[in-house]
């Protein structure tokens, strides 16, 4: 209580200008600074943890993919290493190269099947020091490799190991591959054989590639065999790795080329092997994003301090001027000098007592306005923070996750021998990619649209079997790659032909997509079926439904939407026309203007 009195006593001894500045410092400046420091620190920590978790998640994704691929390669090596036909060929005697080639061709499917069915396998080589073994297909002599470290290691141990190997393609470009190396046991033989399975670099890129993260991988103490950036191939990892540690792991920041990045390194112990793969994941944009958000927060805090400060300064100047004028007027009044209208600004017409009251009321109103503005600025800061947190939590999902998941399911189905399911998943993935990529676009090429329809037809064929077939008839003078159209126009029309036009047909159905270009009429895309057709009254009702929207009807809503899209984009002269003959079939034609047909 004593300190309270001392504080107010200090204020009473200060001038009004000084009092207002003190109130501004205590009520606005200090609270905003303290709250701002807390919010900026907390936001920085949340963003850092968020990006670290995302980095660790992507590193785990790469580690899982590599474990899956290397385990599959190991299983293939097990089957090849103990295959009786392979062992017999390696231990055999061949009087001539022709005899060896004939024997390899007779059993070519043994190794070729793995190359064909497993896309992750880039190459399979079997090296043998049997002098009767010639270099043909996957079989190799040991000339040129017998003195290499990996060959000597393979023939001296029974366990599997992994190694990166440099390759040179037909154009002279060098690249690195992850290879499984193991000895093939030739029982009761004096010969040695070594199996080398190379993992496809293109397959690794397809499975691992990420638009946001930079990934690299090395095996044991070797150089990088896979990298998102080409320049990292054959180099050492970006950070120092303790190879003596049983499971090396690192998550943190590191400067790479004078740029601070988030870096994550983890260790993958390979199945049935002492080899280890070290996976490095880098995000070089995280700190830039965090810095941008923190700078935005600091600007908001600065504005929350400066705007009220400027307002307080101008108000203080204005208010103290009114008080000085009032004191002068009151002094004049005490001296019975009432001619103060030219001194007191504002045109006051009330008595001296009412003028004092008016000044007091005005001061209260101004203070209330100042406090209200302060509260609004603080609330604005809180709202901006909530928006940033919401945007952070609602970050977009990499669509590659969906495609990678479908690809994984497809490969498992393919591996299990169910090619039909694998094909269906592949077609579904292509169809989903087209729909997702064109959901927010205004135009696409007619070639892409027809490709999407062909994929859709293949999916429907998998569903209905021999119930129907389809054909594309395209005007030879047309270049569909240069024809621009609205995306996702044709699928509802084709779906209508299959589900409704061919509804009564068990077999022999036919859907024809005909594309023609007439210089004076424009582009016409006609979808015809040989189904049951429609009665005249049904045809007229359908023609009415695609022009006038009927909320109570659901059957023709797709055709109505397509017709409206075309008319809104190109005008009422274009759109959908429908012709149908009972027991002969139906044709739905989509008319587009000639101007859409031009070079792109």
Q: Which domains are seen in the chain, by residue range? A: 53-284 (3.30.450.20), 308-395 (no CATH), 441-596 (3.30.565.10)
| Share above pLDDT 90 across residues of the chain, in percent, rounded to a whole number | 10
548-593: pLDDT as tens digits: 776 666 566 778 888 888 888 888 888 899 998 888 889 998 888 8
The pLDDT value recorded for residue 497 is 83
Q: Tell me how far apart the alpha carbons of residues 77 and 564 are, in angstroms, rounded to a whole number.
A: 60
Residue 302 to residue 298: CA distance in whole angstroms = 6
**How much is the average pLDDT of 216-230?**
88
CB 132 within 8 A of CB 142: no
How far is residue 337 from each of residues 329, 340, 349, measured CA to CA in Å?
8, 7, 16
Q: Report helix, strand or coil for 531.
A: coil
Residue 598, pLDDT score: 47
Give 8-51 pLDDT, tens digit per residue. 555 555 676 777 778 788 888 888 889 989 888 898 889 888 88
pLDDT grade for 459, boundaries at 50, 70 and 90: confident
Which tens digits make up the pLDDT trace of 415-425? 766 666 767 67
**pLDDT-based confidence at 217, cuts 50/70/90?**
very high
- 106 falls in which pLDDT band (50, 70, 90)? confident
Which of the pair, 522 or 368, is modelled with greater confidence? 522
Q: How confident is the model at residue 70 (pLDDT cuts 50, 70, 90)?
A: very high
**Res 179: pLDDT:** 93
Residues in the chain: 600
Beta-sheet strands, E only, within 434-565: 444-445, 468-474, 484-485, 509-518, 522-529
Residue-wise DSSP of 401-464:
HHHHHHHHHHHHHHHTT-HHHHHHHHHHHHHHHHHHHHTT-S-EEHHHHHHHHHHHHHHHHHHH
Please tell me the predicted confidence (pLDDT) of residue 365. 40
Per-residue pLDDT band at 327 (split at 50, 70, 90):
low
Asked whether residue 496 carries a pLDDT value surpassing 50, the answer given is yes
pLDDT category of residue 323 using cuts at 50, 70 and 90 = low
According to the model, what pLDDT value does residue 170 have?
66
Q: How far apart are CA 540 and CA 503, in angstroms?
A: 20
Between the alpha carbon of residue 225 and those of residues 162, 245, 298, the distances in Å are 11, 21, 43
- Please report the pLDDT score of residue 460 as a whole number: 82
* DSSP output for 379-409: HHHHHHHHHHHHHHHTPPP-THHHHHHHHHH
Query: What is the pLDDT, as a whole number, of residue 162?
Result: 92
DSSP secondary structure of 139-151: EE-STTTTTSHHH
Res 596 pLDDT > 70: no
pLDDT at 392: 37
Q: What is the mean pLDDT of the chain?
A: 78
| Rounded (10°) angle between helices 84-91 and 109-117 | 130
Backbone angles phi, psi at 467, to 5 degrees: -65, -35
Mean pLDDT of 281-293: 87
pLDDT computed for residue 64 by the predictor: 93
> What integer is the mean pLDDT of 86-104?
81
pLDDT at 384 over 60: no
Beta strands in 185-315 (DSSP E): 193-199, 214-219, 224-227, 250-256, 259-269, 276-283
> Which three-class secondary structure state does DSSP give residue 68?
helix
Q: Check residue 318 and give its pLDDT.
A: 66
**Confidence tier at 360 by pLDDT (50, 70, 90):** very low
Nearest-angstrom CA–CA distance, 232 and 473: 49
Report the distance separating Cα 431 and Cα 453, nearest Å.
Answer: 9
pLDDT band of 272, cuts 50, 70, 90:
confident
pLDDT digits (tens, 9 = 90+) for 152-170: 888 888 889 999 988 776 6
Q: Report whether pLDDT(235) > 50.
A: yes
Determine the Cα–Cα distance for residues 374 and 273; give it in Å rounded to an integer.
Answer: 67
pLDDT of 564: 84
More confident residue, 205 or 425: 205
**For residues 250 and 239, is the Cβ–Cβ distance under 8 A?**
yes
In this predicted structure, the answer to whether residue 52 has a pLDDT above a threshold of 60 is yes
Q: Provide the pLDDT for residue 405.
A: 65
Q: Which residue has the higher pLDDT, 99 or 59?
A: 59
Q: What is the DSSP string of 132-193?
A: T---BTTEE-STTTTTSHHHHHHHH-SSBEEEEEEEE-TTS-EEEEEEEEEEE--TT-S--E
pLDDT at 349: 34
**Residues 56 and 336 sit within 8 Å (Cβ to Cβ):** no
The DSSP bridge partners found for residue 418 are none
Q: Residue 173: is its pLDDT beyond 50? A: yes
pLDDT at 191: 85
The pLDDT of residue 338 is above 50: no
Reported as a pLDDT band with limits 50, 70 and 90, residue 344 is very low
Query: CA-CA distance, 64 to 68, in Å (whole number)?
Result: 6
Pairing between strand 139-140 and 121-128? parallel
Would you say residue 516 has pLDDT above 70? yes
Give residue-wise pLDDT tens across range 436-456: 666 656 688 888 888 888 888
Region 67-72 average pLDDT: 92
pLDDT at 121 over 60: yes
Mean pLDDT, range 398-406, rounded to an integer = 57
Q: Find the mean pLDDT for residues 170-199.
A: 85
| Pair of tokens at residue 182 | 């193991």
């Amino acid at each position: 209580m004593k300190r309270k009195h001392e504080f107010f006593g200090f204020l009473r001894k200060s001038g009004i200008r000084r009092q207002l500045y003190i109130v501004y410092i205590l009520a606005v400046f200090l609270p905003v600074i303290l709250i701002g420091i807390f919010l900026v620190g907390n936001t920085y920590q949340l963003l850092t943890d968020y990006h670290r978790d995302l980095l660790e998640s992507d590193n785990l994704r790469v580690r899982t993919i590599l474990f899956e691929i290397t385990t599959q390669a190991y299983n293939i090596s097990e089957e090849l290493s103990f295959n009786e036909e392979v062992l017999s060929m390696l231990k055999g005697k061949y009087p001539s190269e022709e005899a060896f080639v004939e024997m390899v061709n007779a059993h070519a499917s043994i190794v070729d099947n793995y190359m064909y069915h497993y896309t992750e396998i880039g190459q399979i080589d079997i090296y043998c020091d049997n002098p009767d073994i010639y270099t043909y297909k996957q079989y190799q002599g040991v000339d040129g490799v017998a003195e290499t470290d990996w060959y000597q290691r393979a023939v001296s141990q029974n366990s599997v190991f992994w190694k990166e190997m440099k390759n040179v393609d037909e154009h002279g470009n060098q690249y690195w591959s992850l290879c499984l190396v193991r000895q093939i046991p030739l029982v009761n033989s004096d010969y040695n054989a070594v199996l080398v399975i190379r993992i496809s670099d293109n397959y690794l890129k397809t499975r691992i590639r990420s638009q946001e993260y930079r990934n690299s991988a090395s095996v044991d103490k070797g150089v990088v065999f896979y990298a998102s950036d080409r320049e990292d191939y054959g180099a050492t990892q970006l950070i120092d790795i303790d190879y003596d540690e049983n499971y090396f792991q690192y998550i943190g920041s590191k400067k790479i080329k004078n740029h601070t990045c988030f870096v994550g390194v983890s260790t993958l112990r390979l199945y049935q092997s002492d080899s280890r793969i070290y996976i490095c994941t880098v995000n070089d944009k995280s700190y830039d994003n965090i810095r941008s958000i923190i700078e935005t927060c600091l600007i908001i805090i600065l504005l929350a301090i400066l705007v009220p400060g400027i307002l307080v300064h101008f108000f203080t100047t204005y208010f103290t001027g009114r008080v000085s004028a009032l004191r002068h007027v009151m002094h004049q009044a005490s001296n019975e000098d009432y001619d103060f209208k030219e001194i007191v600004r504002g045109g006051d017409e009330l008595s001296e007592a009412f003028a004092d009251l008016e000044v007091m009321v005005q001061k209260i109103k101004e203070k209330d306005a100042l406090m209200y503005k302060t509260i609004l600025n603080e609330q604005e800061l809180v709202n901006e923070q909530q928006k940033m947190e919401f945007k952070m939590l609602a970050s977009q999902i990499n669509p590659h996750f969906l495609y990678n998941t479908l690809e994984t399911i497809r490969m498992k189905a393919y591996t299990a021998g169910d090619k039909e399911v694998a094909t269906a998943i592949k077609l579904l993935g292509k169809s989903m990619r087209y729909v997702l990529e064109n959901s927010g676009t205004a135009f696409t090429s007619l070639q892409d649209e027809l490709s999407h329809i062909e994929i859709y037809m293949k999916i429907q064929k998998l569903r209905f079997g021999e119930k129907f077939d389809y054909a594309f008839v395209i005007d030879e003078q047309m270049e569909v790659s240069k024809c621009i159209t609205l995306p996702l126009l044709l699928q509802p029309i084709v779906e209508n032909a299959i589900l409704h036009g061919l509804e009564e047909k068990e077999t022999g159905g036919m859907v024809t997509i005909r594309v023609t270009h007439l210089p004076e009429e424009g582009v016409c895309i006609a979808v015809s079926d040989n189904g049951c057709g429609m009665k005249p009254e049904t045809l007229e009702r359908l023609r009415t439904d695609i022009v006038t929207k009927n909320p109570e009807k659901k059957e023709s809503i797709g055709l109505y939407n397509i017709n409206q899209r075309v008319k809104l984009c190109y005008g009422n002269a274009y759109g959908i026309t429908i012709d149908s003959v009972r027991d002969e079939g139906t044709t739905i034609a989509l008319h587009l203007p000639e101007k859409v047909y031009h070079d792109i």
